[in-house]
Chain A
């Protein structure tokens, strides 16, 4: 029955993940801040208000003085039911806390809320300062990009006219080597052929998906360009290179999934690594 498997593979491979651009609805924006970020938060709101995505948005704010624990703000957030939360790292954390952390509030927010979270970087030492993100270059990152239409649409919507949206799909070389090591110990499998075909197939699906996305966005958002990074490598190194090379003004990745694992994968590593880059957690 080998031929049966052959044709099943051919037809499964022929099915492409569809993509439809959906402009995100950011009608209720919640600014969550503490004393350190109060001024920065104001600047951020002004910046967002000028962005076309937020032209009809209603902004609400939770100030530092109104909470000291997560349970004190959770009901308020539920009541507001925001379509986007804009906040900062290390809310209410003591100054000596490592900057390579999101802080307890943000960790909880990422898992306990359904809406996207925009994390604006700024230095707590420089009170009130806020580096306006340059949205001419936006990067969307996913462990498995194919089929993640929400991620792509959000990233595309933030990309400024004339800007470039880079879609990244990186396969972890270390994980691949680990599995290939197991395959090489199975005499029935030709490991050279397996390596080549698995590598090719792992990259083929995101490549096809990006082709589909590019075709759709060419019609729906004709003023932005689409670039892609599809390769094997050490994840954080390659993302660091991609972000540096493209001078990304916004990094978009997924932080929520049914198994609550997203923030434990590459997303979390990126979130704590790139402290100077604005992040949008979908």
Chain B
């Protein structure tokens, strides 16, 4: 197996310089909190230097027409999905549908801690899958704080929040749009929304069940035993009013309908005429715009809530990777990936999965996914990887689950830690790792077995 030869002859020194720049950017992203710089600024600086270095070392292509060549490096399909989803989720959130659902589910537990853990865990997974894992963590984490305080169960808060943080990365595996690595790798591999769901759903179900069982055992979450205790908890939880967050009943109903149509359209994108040609980026943007019509006079407020840091981060990141590709850096990484793949159909995917997870545990999983997706899409010998190859799934599972090893491994676990600290609970970096590693190891072992099975089907 090999990656295609670069059309330019690039010296190893030039490749090494560009690799150094890429490594510096990855390291800066890993220490984002320490250097007090947002992601987009880090990748922006890296993009500027990469382009200057690329121009100085004559590795860059020429621009054609009016569009600068580096604009062509950006994967606009990914940007469209993220922007569209962002518009969609922000407006849908304002309709009150998510808070309504979250409170309804809370009331169904009647305040029983074990039922709450299971309900919130499942809710985290579903919200992560349908929205994104950061929004899911914010919604479920906020509700967890309020409801456990209401029930006088503050001692369980740390365990609940930690478990939910870990489950966001499992829920992030359920659909193609659940996490950014899924979008990048799935788009590159040509995996449809429906196929992604069908392949991932059994693993997500199993991993969720095991995680919840472990959390209940390790964090001492038990069902209420006495009748009096149950009645008291039920009375307290009944004081939640799910309708409070609904400002317009019409908007609320419309939001449910649009949300349902969104999921249905995503699930059937690959078979819908016209839509399949436009892709899921179009679907996300179209539904985002549809929701904007509902808030047409206040659309600017929705624009303000768009995560511009994330969008610009991607634009700059794609430019850095584009330059790195032309400088031969991806070829070098590709050779490393090929060595892992050369281990065979059993050990190869397992090695790629574990390597991806370890790498994404200490740095952002997005550049990792972007670099690996780009590298793997370039493999041609003996044959290009098909969308069914379990190597894609090894990267997807490794990049997502690696986020459960450390608090900086994924944005959603970072949100979980932020909520934990905001509520004056003690949890250091090491403390998080000590509590999370047993979960992450079990999940990674399950994922390894699952990817192995996928390779045999």
Contact = CB atoms under 8 A, between A and B. Distances in A.
Contacts of A1: 415, 418
B115 interface: no
A7 B99 contact: yes
Interface string A1-16: 1111011101111111
Q: Which 4 A-B pairs have the closest CB atoms?
A: A7-B142, A11-B146, A14-B244, A8-B142
Given A3-B135, A14-B242, A15-B150, A8 B99 contact: no
B415 A14 contact: no
Interface in A68-84: none
Interface stretch (B44-52, B233-241, B386-394): B233-241
B309 to A, nearest CB: 12
Contact of B244 (A2, A3, A13): A13
B143 A7 contact: yes
A14 B99 CA distance: 9
A236 to B, nearest CB: 32
A11 B96 CA distance: 11
B239 A4 contact: no
Given A15-B239, A17-B239, A18-B235, A4 B99 contact: no
Given A14-B240, A18-B239, A4 B143 contact: no
Contacts of B138: 3-4, 7
Contact of A12 (B146, B242, B415): B146
B103 A11 contact: yes
B235 A10 contact: no
Interface-centre pick from A4, A7, A12, A16 (highest chain B CB count, 10 A) = A7
Contacts of B93: 6
Nearest to A2: B305
A108 interface: no
22 contacts: A3-B305, A4-B138, A4-B418, A7-B99, A7-B138, A7-B142, A7-B143, A8-B145, A10-B245, A11-B99, A11-B142, A11-B145, A11-B146, A12-B146, A13-B244, A13-B245, A14-B103, A14-B146, A14-B244, A15-B150, A16-B244, A208-B241
Contacts of A6: 93
Interface string B77-105: 00000000000000001001001001100
Contact of A10 (B99, B305, B415): B99
Which label, helix, strand, loop or mixed, suits the secondary structure of the A interface? helix
A93 to B, nearest CB: 46
Interface of A: 1-4, 6-8, 10-18, 208
Contacts of A208: 241, 244
B146 A16 contact: no
A16 B239 CA distance: 5
B146 A4 contact: no
A208 B242 CA distance: 13
B419 interface: yes
B299 interface: no
B139 interface: yes
Interface in B369-419: 415, 418-419
A6 B103 CA distance: 15
Interface of B: 93, 96, 99, 102-103, 135, 138-139, 141-143, 145-147, 150, 235-236, 238-242, 244-245, 305, 415, 418-419, 422
A155 B103 CA distance: 33
Contacts of B147: 11
Contacts of A7: 99, 138-139, 142-143
Nearest to B238: A18
A4 B245 contact: no
Nearest to A12: B146
B241 A16 contact: yes
Given A11-B147, A13-B244, 8 more contacts: A6-B93, A7-B142, A11-B102, A12-B146, A14-B242, A16-B240, A18-B236, A18-B239
Nearest to B140: A7
B117 to A, nearest CB: 17
Given A1-B418, A3-B135, A7-B99, A15 B143 contact: no
A3 B98 CA distance: 13
Q: Identify which of B93, B147, B150, B241 gathers the most chain A CB atoms within 10 Å of its CB.
A: B241
Contact of B419 (A4, A10, A18): A4
Contacts of B99: 7, 10-11, 14
B308 to A, nearest CB: 13
Nearest to B235: A18
Contact of B241 (A3, A4, A14): A14
Nearest to B135: A3
Contacts of B244: 10, 13-14, 16, 208
Nearest to A5: B142
A14 B245 contact: yes
Nearest to A1: B418
A10 B135 CA distance: 14
A13 B238 CA distance: 14
Most chain B Cβ neighbours within 10 Å, of A6, A10, A208:
A10
A4 B421 CA distance: 13
A2 B306 CA distance: 12
Between A8, A11, A16, the greatest number of chain B beta carbons within 10 A of the residue's beta carbon is seen for: A11
A168 to B, nearest CB: 23
A239 B146 CA distance: 35
A202 B383 CA distance: 67
A247 B418 CA distance: 55
Contacts of A16: 239-241, 244
Contacts of B305: 2-3
Nearest to B89: A3
A110 to B, nearest CB: 31
A149 to B, nearest CB: 12
A4 B415 contact: yes
A15 B146 contact: yes
Among A4, A12, A13, max chain B CB count under 10 A is at: A4
A17 B150 CA distance: 10
A94 B145 CA distance: 58
A8 B146 contact: yes
A201 to B, nearest CB: 12
Contacts of A13: 244-245
A17 B244 CA distance: 13
A74 to B, nearest CB: 37
B154 to A, nearest CB: 15
Contacts of B139: 7
B232 to A, nearest CB: 11
